[in-house]
């Protein structure tokens, strides 16, 4: 059977690939933010910042801030991944529904064409 809507299949694949790219970049970004906050968080004291000068307080720098940033950005990344991947899967779902409907119609038409004509009532 001939596959229809080739461009939609390509678009669905592009959405799925984009979802995986977002996931990989998001995980790398989250890990980078964790390392930057943990390793660079001690720099606030070296820069001469006191507690009153830190915009979010001292907890925003260092291990706690790094972990919070890591978890929040990782959750956001997973949500974005799921949304993008779902769009690609939705396109494939709609294509599968169309194919199944077309096959069912062809099967019913072939069955009706091979069935004997109905008998007339006497």
Distance CA 114, CA 50 (A): 88
State the pLDDT at residue 118.
74
Specify the pLDDT at position 119.
78
- Asked whether residue 11 is domain-assigned, the answer is yes
Residue 1 located in a structural domain: no
Residue 120 in domain: no
Decide if pLDDT at 29 tops 90. yes
> What mean pLDDT is predicted for residues 21-49?
80
Q: Is residue 91 part of a domain?
A: yes
33 found inside a domain: yes
The answer to whether residue 93 sits within a structural domain is yes
- pLDDT number for residue 42: 57
Q: Give the least confident one: 44-58, 64-78, 87-101.
A: 44-58
How crowded is residue 122: how many other Cβ atoms within 10 Å of its Cβ? Answer: 3
Spell out the SS3 assignment of 44-106: HHHCCCCHHHCCCCHHHCCHHHHHHHHHHHHHHHHHHHHHHHHHHHHHHHHHHHHHHHHHHHH
Q: What is the pTM of this model?
A: 0.74
In a domain, 121, yes or no: no
Tokens 């001939």 sit on residue = 2
**What is the pLDDT, as a whole number, of residue 15?**
97
Helical axes 6-40 vs 63-114, angle rounded to 10°: 170
In a domain, 119, yes or no: no
Domain count, the chain: 1
The confidence band for 74, taking pLDDT boundaries of 50, 70 and 90, is very high
The domain in which residue 103 lies consists of 6-114
């Amino acid at each position: 059977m001939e596959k229809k809507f080739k461009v939609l299949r390509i678009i669905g694949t592009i959405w799925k690939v984009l979802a995986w790219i977002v996931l990989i970049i998001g995980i790398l970004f989250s890990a980078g933010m964790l390392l930057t906050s943990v390793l660079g968080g001690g720099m606030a004291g070296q820069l001469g910042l006191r507690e009153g000068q830190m915009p979010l307080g001292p907890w925003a720098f260092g291990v706690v801030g790094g972990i919070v940033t890591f978890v929040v950005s990782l959750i956001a990344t997973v949500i974005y991944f799921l949304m993008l991947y779902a769009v690609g899967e939705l396109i494939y779902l709609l294509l599968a529904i169309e194919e199944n409907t077309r096959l069912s119609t062809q099967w019913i038409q072939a069955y009706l064409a091979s069935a004997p004509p109905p008998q007339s009532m006497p």
